Each structure stands twice: as C-alpha cells, then as structure tokens.
Amino acid sequence: MDLLDKKYLLAPGPVPVPPKALLAMAQPVIHHRLPEFSAVLETIRADLKYLFQTRNDVFFFASSGTGAMEACVVNLFSPGDKVIVVRGGKFGERWGELAETYGLEPVYIDVQWGLPVQVEVVKEVLTTHPKAKGLLMQAHETSTGVKHPVAEIAALTRHTETLLVVDAISALGVYPLPMDELGIDVMVAGSQKSLALPPGLSFVALSDRAWKRVEEAKLPRYYFDLRKEKKALGRSTTAYTPAVSLLFGLSAILKRLREVGLETLFAHYARLSGACRAGIEALGLELFSQAPCEALTIVKVPEGVDGLQLMKLMREKYHVTMAGGQAKLKGKVVRIAHLGYQSPLDVVLALSTLEMALSELGYKLPLGAGVAAAQKYFLQEV
C-alpha cells in the first residue's frame, strides 16, 4: 500500500481484522480430515457455546450470514407453514424473501424504518396466528441501526408453538443475548461483524425444541442440512470442506474473547457507540434510529448535502470507508460501524472525517465539536 494512501474501514461488514487473527489465517493450510484439524474444531465448538451462551452445539457453514438465514428456513419449516416476519429494514425484508422463496406463508409485521417493533403488536399477531411455526426477526436491523426488543419478545414465544428465530449477525458479542436464558430458539451470526474476521463463515445455534422441528421439516436441503452437520460434529469433523483458514482465525478470536470476557466486550461496544452518538449530537446532526443499537451509529445526511457525494468524498479523498444507506435510505444516511478491530480513536477518526467532508461540501457546522464531545465522553468513562 502507498504510504500516502492509508485506508480505514469503518463499515458494518467487512470490518477491520486484528493482526493476531490475520497471522492465524496465514498458517499453512492443513487437511480438514486430520486429527490436527479435529483438535482445533473441538476448541471452537466449546468457545462458540460460550459466545452464544448456550449449552447446545453451534453449527457453521462456509457462507455469508445470509446462508445461515437460509439454513434456518430450510431446516425448520415445511411448505405452506405460516411464519411471522418482522419487516423494518433491508434484512427484515430478507427473512420475508427467503420465506416466500421456499413456499412459506409469511405474515408481515411492517415497522417504520428507524423504529423498533412494538411488543404489544407482536403479542397481538401471535394471538391472531397461534399456529404460526416461527417468528423471524433481527436483533439489530443493520440497515436502520435499530435495536429490537428481543428479550421481551422471547418472553412471549417461549410458551407457544412458535419458534423465535433471531438474526443476530450484527448483534452477537455486541450486547447481552444469552440464548438459553432468554429462550431464543434459533440464533444466527456471521464472521464479518463483532467476530472481527473476513466474510465467509456463518453460524446457527438451536434450542432443543428447535432441533425437534429440524427432524420434522419437509423442505429440501443439501449443503445446509443441519442433520448432516450434527452427525459430522459427533465425529469431530464437518460434513463438507470447511473454510480451514477462516477457522484458524476464528479460533484465535474466540480464545481472545474468552480472555477478555463477554461483559468487557459488551462494555466496549456500548462505550464506542455512546461516544459516537454524543459526537453526532454535538454537531447538531440527527440520528436515524429511535432505538439505536451498539453495533453502528446511523446519521441522517443534512438537508442540502448530496449523500452519495459525501460518501464518495470520505472514501476517495480521506480514504475512510463508512457505509451509506440501503434501498430507500440510499443517499440519505451515513452508517458508522463500531464492529471488529476498533478502538476509541476510530470513533474520533470517523467524526473528524465526517466533519471535514461536510464542511468541504458547504455544510456549516462547528469543526471539532463532534470530536471534542467524543473525547469528553471517553474521558468520563475511563
């Protein structure tokens, strides 16, 4: 890389990867049917249970997080099954698209983008559709920055026949989501978020009652067949060729998470997101989410500023890659991620870049105010 062209990645996936994980992934590749690989796999199995806070196995695939979402649909349901889908952003829409693709009957709870789903609305829909086989939702809706009330909804579903299936791709490891304690039936995740790895691994964890549904489901499945993976894990191997190098990196990351502890990890993300929100408010800018999550901060592009030009300027002149809006939010918001290998100074960098780029585009704001607010936040939180 050119010395004058240092790049910074502050998008919500892919995310910056720590050097120890990069070095682990640079190890010579070993054959995945050897005892040496089985030993790595057994350590990963135990550490994933710790991360998901479950006593059950966590399955993984060589795919993006969408692969894990698809695995949930094909392993849990049968053609014509009714499922409730919380649709309040791009990834809520993805649950619905998957359900429709496989011939399920989705009942949509449409939520205004930027707002969390209301527990009372979910309760009403569950009462109206008591035979619904599943409730599919996000923990964090990454396209809007919204944090949905998963714990409260789990309290509604755990005593029904409806399985709670949670996309925690941007939430796992970011805030407390104790799967077994809350009664979440299925939780999915991906490697390119809080796990601080490149894209390419997805994860699925299931409760005991969800596993019973796996045995009964009638949808076709091949690569994503969890029954095959369960048998393979029983032999300390995988059903198909795994992403060996990514798993070396995963093992290094999970070891570090054990050393640090989940509570410290959760506090880290709360601190980064809290400081970023403080900086945005000090600049007089508006947050998009009315229930902001800890994984990323989403800022409305101010009136009179071309949002696409703003993103391009930050990326091409300042070499800082954040994320723009998706679908109907394209050009209207900036998504500043706090995921992966980040520290308080990454928040300062993000705010400084945003300040300079907005100023360069003619938007009047107090230069340095956002940075100063974040600095004060961090100093108070020490």
**Same domain (yes/no): 356, 242:** no
Query: Would you state the pLDDT for residue 382?
Result: 60
> Which residues span the domain enclosing 227?
19-260
81 lies in a domain?
yes
pLDDT digits (tens, 9 = 90+) for 15-55: 999 999 999 999 999 999 999 999 999 999 999 999 999 99
Q: Which residue positions in the chain have pLDDT lower than 50?
A: none
**Same domain (yes/no): 311, 189:** no
Burial of 177 from C-beta contacts in 10 A (0-12 / 13-18 / 19+) = buried
What's the number of domains the chain is made of?
2
**Same domain (yes/no): 180, 47:** yes
Query: Would you state the pLDDT for residue 306?
Result: 97
Q: Which of 215, 245, 260 is the last residue of a domain?
A: 260
Return the CATH number at 270. 3.90.1150.10
**Same domain (yes/no): 94, 159:** yes
Give the single-character DSSP code of 327: G
Helix 226-234, helix 208-216: angle, nearest 10: 120
Beta partners for residue 87, in sequence order: 110
Q: Which of 200, 227, 260 is the last residue of a domain?
A: 260
200 lies in a domain?
yes
**Same domain (yes/no): 42, 180:** yes
**Same domain (yes/no): 275, 246:** no
**Same domain (yes/no): 207, 228:** yes
**Same domain (yes/no): 323, 369:** yes
Query: Would you state the pLDDT for residue 2?
Result: 63
Return the CATH number at 141. 3.40.640.10
What is the Cβ-side half-sphere exposure of residue 215, based on CA atoms within 13 angstroms?
8
**Same domain (yes/no): 271, 366:** yes
- Give the Cα separation of 164 and 270 in Å (integer): 25
**Same domain (yes/no): 331, 207:** no
Query: Would you state the pLDDT for residue 103?
Result: 98
Query: Would you state the pLDDT for residue 201?
Result: 98
